[in-house]
Amino acid sequence: MVKVEKFIPKAIDRIKEQAKGKTIIALSGGVDSSVCAVLAYRAIGDDLIPIYIDTGLMRKGETKRIKEIFEDMNLQTIDAKDRFLEALVGIKDPEEKRKVVGETFIRVFEEEAREINAEYLIQGTIYPDRIESDGGIKSHHNVGGLPEHIDFKGIIEPIDDLYKDEVREVAWALDLPEEICERMPFPGPGLSVRIIGEVTEEKVDVVREANAIVEEELLEQFKPWQTFAAVIGKGTGVKGDVRVHGWIIAVRAVGSRDGMTAEALELPWETLRKIESRISGEIASVARVLYDLSPKPPATIEFE
Q: Is 34 annotated as a binding residue?
A: yes
Across-strand partners of 255? Answer: 263
- Residue 28, annotated as binding a ligand: yes
Beta strands in the chain (DSSP E): 23-26, 48-54, 76-79, 120-122, 154-156, 226-239, 242-255, 263-264, 286-291
Q: Are 113 and 23 in contact (CB under 8 A)?
A: no
What single-letter DSSP state applies at residue 296?
B
User: 32 a known binding residue?
Assistant: yes
Question: What is the residue type of 160?
Answer: D
Phi, then psi, of 277 in degrees rounded to 5: -65, -40
Whether 192 has a binding-site annotation, put simply, is no
CA atoms 66, 168, 12, 128: torsion sign: negative
Sign of CA dihedral 301, 56, 38, 13: positive
Residue 61 φ/ψ region, left for φ over 0, alpha for ψ in the -120 to 50 degree band, beta for the rest: left
**Which residues make beta-bridge pairs with 262?**
296
Is residue 31 part of an annotated ligand binding site?
yes
CA distance 267 to 222: 8
DSSP 59: P
Dihedral angle sign, alpha carbons of residues 31, 82, 92, 290: positive
Task: Tell me which DSSP letter residue 143 carries.
Answer: T
CB count, 10 Å around CB of 205? 14
Closest CA to 165 of 253, 262, 258, 255: 258
Task: Using alpha carbons, select from 135, 247, 236, 143 the residue that is nearest to residue 187.
Answer: 143
Which residue ranges are tagged as binding site for ATP?
A: 28-34
Which residue ranges are tagged as binding site?
A: 28-34
